[in-house]
């Protein structure tokens, strides 16, 4: 195969290059993934998503997700919502089930371009995050860091949430990498900085492991609402204001979290595989 067809989509500016490997096998090395994700010499994106046939009779599709640095991640809410939108149009359905490395996720068409995704249950167990040692996941203090009382959550991928008075003043490029790569987090961690506006509204900035600061992060928004609700800072239904737009997050009575927001198909294109050779 000389070319790879792709679809460029985003959920609130959190953008993806989506590859369809259901009919023909697409295998990419980490360096090739990074090249595609590069915004200067590639297509440019936060994550690359590969669609595959599902081996589970309950699912309509299986997806693998890779960060812009070539590393694999087991969950991405906005990427899953984008794929679900494609699939619902393809299958002429208003509900689909997407299989991910972290489990089966149910998505449904909310209205227009808005897609709702049940991301599953949050885990607050230190072994599930995972942490390198037993710590109180509701009060994590990293030595020599100015951010205090971090709240760790796993939603298919690891998150830590810090509640701050003014997130606009923060320099994420300066502060977040040291947290992402701290020894407490053997698989690294997504870093979320949240500011409580009201009981039903949060301002959030996100630093994704393997991708850096992004305009939005669906699992980050859900992790933040789970943490804020557990701490008594918000109600269970919260509007999360991200750099790329807003997500509505619901923390259900059964412990599941649902995110609702718009997705957009930006353009379709073709990648010439010759670029991989030229960059080697």
pLDDT at 173: 97
At the fourth CATH level, the homologous superfamily of domain 120-262 is Diaminopimelate Epimerase; Chain A, domain 1 (3.10.310.10)
Residue 44 CA to chain centroid, in angstroms?
16
pLDDT at 59: 96
Q: How far apart are CA 75 and CA 219, in angstroms?
A: 8
Mean pLDDT computed over 21-45: 94
pLDDT at 128: 98
At the fourth CATH level, the homologous superfamily of domain 3-111+263-278 is Diaminopimelate Epimerase; Chain A, domain 1 (3.10.310.10)
pLDDT at 278: 65
Tens-digit pLDDT profile for residues 150-198: 999 999 999 999 999 999 999 999 999 999 999 999 999 999 999 999 9
76 as an active site residue: the answer is yes
Instruction: Tell me if 3 sits within 8 A of 271, measured CB to CB.
Output: yes
Answer yes or no: is pLDDT of 56 > 90.
Answer: no
pLDDT at 16: 98
Burial of 221 (0-12, 13-18, 19+ CB in 10 A): buried
Residues in contact with 30: Cβ distance below 8 Å, sequence separation at least 6, in sequence order: 66, 69, 70, 71
Mean pLDDT computed over 42-52: 97
pLDDT at 280: 57
Residue written as token pair 């971090």: 150
Instruction: Tell me if 90 sits within 8 A of 101, measured CB to CB.
Output: no
Q: How far apart are CA 142 and CA 184, in angstroms?
A: 8
Mean pLDDT computed over 238-257: 98
Q: Domain spans of the chain?
A: 3-111+263-278, 120-262
Q: Which one from 45, 82, 217, 222 is the annotated catalytic residue? A: 217
Q: Cα dihedral angle (27, 30, 31, 37), rounded to 10 degrees?
A: 90
pLDDT at 156: 94
Average pLDDT, the chain: 96
Answer yes or no: is pLDDT of 69 > 60.
Answer: yes
pLDDT at 1: 53
222 as an active site residue: the answer is no
CATH topology identical between 3-111+263-278 and 120-262: yes
Answer yes or no: is pLDDT of 216 > 60.
Answer: yes
Q: How far apart are CA 243 and CA 264, in angstroms?
A: 16
Mean pLDDT computed over 28-52: 96
Portion of the chain with pLDDT greater than 90, in percent:
91
Number of neighbouring beta carbons within 10 Å of residue 17 = 25
Q: 127: helix, coil or strand?
A: coil
DSSP state of 255: S
Q: How far apart are CA 141 and CA 152, in angstroms?
A: 11
Answer yes or no: is pLDDT of 201 > 90.
Answer: yes
Mean pLDDT computed over 43-63: 95
Q: How far apart are CA 153 and CA 224, in angstroms?
A: 8
Answer yes or no: is pLDDT of 123 > 90.
Answer: yes
């Amino acid at each position: 195969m000389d070319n790879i067809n792709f679809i460029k989509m985003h959920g609130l500016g959190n953008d993806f290059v989506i590859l369809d490997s259901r009919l023909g096998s697409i295998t990419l090395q980490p360096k090739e993934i990074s090249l595609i994700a590069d915004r200067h010499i590639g297509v440019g994106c936060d994550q690359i998503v590969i669609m595959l046939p599902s081996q589970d009779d309950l699912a309509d599709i299986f997806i693998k997700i890779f960060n812009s640095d070539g590393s694999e991640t087991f969950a991405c809410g906005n990427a899953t919502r984008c794929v679900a939108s494609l699939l619902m149009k393809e299958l002429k359905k208003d509900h689909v089930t997407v299989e991910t490395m972290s489990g089966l996720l149910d998505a449904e068409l909310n209205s227009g371009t808005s897609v709702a995704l049940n991301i599953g249950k949050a885990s607050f167990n230190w072994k599930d995050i995972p942490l390198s040692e037993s710590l109180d996941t509701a009060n994590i203090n990293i030595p020599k860091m100015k951010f205090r009382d971090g709240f760790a959550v796993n939603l298919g991928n690891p998150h830590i949430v810090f509640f701050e008075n003014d997130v606009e003043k923060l320099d994420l490029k300066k502060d977040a990498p040291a947290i992402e790569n701290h020894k407490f987090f053997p698989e690294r961690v997504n870093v979320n900085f949240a500011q409580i506006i009201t009981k039903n509204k949060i301002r959030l900035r996100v630093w994704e492991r393997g991708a850096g600061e992004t305009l939005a992060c669906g699992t980050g928004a859900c992790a933040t609402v789970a943490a804020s609700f557990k701490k008594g800072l918000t109600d269970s239904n919260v509007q999360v204001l991200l750099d790329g737009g807003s997500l509505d997050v619901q923390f259900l009575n059964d412990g599941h979290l649902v995110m609702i927001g718009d997705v957009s198909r930006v353009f379709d294109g073709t990648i010439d595989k010759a670029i991989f050779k030229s960059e080697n």
